[in-house]
Amino acid sequence: MSQTATVDTYDEDMQAYGASKEFLTITIADQLFGIPVLQVQDVLGEQKVTQVPLSPAAVSGSLNLRGRIVTAINVRRCLGLSEREGTHKEMSVVVEQGGELYSLIIDEVGDVLNLKDKDYESNPATLDPHWKIVSMGIYKMEGKIMVVLDVPKLIETIHA
């Protein structure tokens, strides 16, 4: 049911050193996103989600994670993307925010990457306004660009 990805807390020295940061990469609509690894609690496969009537569109429901209730968030909707077509196995990343758990439903979960600070850049001015709010900046990688997802912001925008 739930498969915990190997997300180990890396050497704290590395963090303090500041030369690089670790991100769990996820893919949404073929775009690569990164979530700071320390924010990630769990990675889940398909879950039985209870719909919450009258909830904001971005909330797809609630689920039970080992006795705790987790609010499932459809990140595609948060980013103003259309629903995913066809049937896919749903994946989600569980994060904790303000003492509560949220499960971010995304398309795919990738690896944990160690990214160098020198590759970081703040949000390009032309970035989609939807995205700009929830992006903490980007990392240039070989052949692709990774958007750093600002999880607290993402959740905040739903609340509004």
Partner 1 sequence: MDDLIAEFLTETNESLGALDVDLVNLEQNPNDKDLLSNIFRLMHTIKGTCGFLGLPRLEKVAHHAENIMGRFRDGDLEVIPDYVTLIFESLDRIKDIIAELEETGQEPEGDDSELIEKLDEVYEGRDVHQTGGGANGATPPPQDSAPAEEQSAPANDQAEEDEGESQDSDELQALFDSIEALPPDQIQDLKMPHEMSEEERAAKRAEALAAELAAKEQATAAPQETPKEAPAAKKEEPKKEEPAKAAAQNNAPPAGDKPAVAQSLRVNVDVLENLMTMVSELVLTRNQLLQILRTQKESEFSAPLQRLNHVVSDLQEGVMKTRMQPIGNAWSKLPRIIRDLSIELGKKINLEMLGAETELDRQVLDMIKDPLTHMVRNSADHGIEMPDERAAAGKPETGTVILNAYHEGGHIIIEIKDDGKGLNTDLIKEKVLANGLASQEELDNMSTQQIQQFIFNAGLSTAEKVTAVSGRGVGMDVVRTNIEKIGGSIELRSIEGKGSTFAIKIPLTLAIVSALIVEAGGERFAIPQLAVKELVLINKKSEIQIEDIKGVPFFRLREQLLPLVSLTDLLNIESQKIDLPRAEPPSVIEVPVTEESAVEDVPTEDSMEEDGAPEDEQLHTYTLEEAEEESDYIVVTQIGAYLFGIIVDRVFDTEEIVVKPVSKILKDIEMFSGNTILGDGSVIMILDPAGIAKATGKAEGAETSDSVEEKSAYTGDDRTSLLLFKAGDGAPKAVPLSLVARLEEIDLASVEYASGQHMVQYRGKLMPLVTMEGSPPLGSEGEQPVLVFTEHEKSMGLAVDEIVDITEAIIDVQVAGKGNGMIGSAIIEEKATDVVDIGTILKSNDQNWFKNHDDTPYGQDAMNGKKILLIDDSPFFRNMLSPLLKMAGYNVTVLDNAMHALKMREKGESFDLIISDIEMPEMDGFEFAQQVRSEESEWKNLPLVALTSHDTPEDMERGNVVGFNKYVAKFDRDQLLNTLSQTLSEGGAA
Nearer to partner 1, 68 or 116 (CB): 68
Q: Does 4 bind partner 1 (CB under 8 A)?
A: no
Residue choice 30, 48, 86, 143 for contact with partner 1 (CB under 8 A): 48
Alpha-carbon dihedral angle through residues 19, 22, 26, 30, given to the nearest 10 degrees: 20
CB 119 within 8 A of CB 23: no
Among 32, 61, 78, 150, binds partner 1 (CB under 8 A): 61
64 is a site residue for partner 1 (CB under 8 A):
yes
Residue 102 engages partner 1 in binding (rule: CB under 8 A):
yes
59: contact with partner 1 by CB under 8 A: yes
Q: Is residue 159 close enough to count as binding partner 1 by CB under 8 A? A: yes
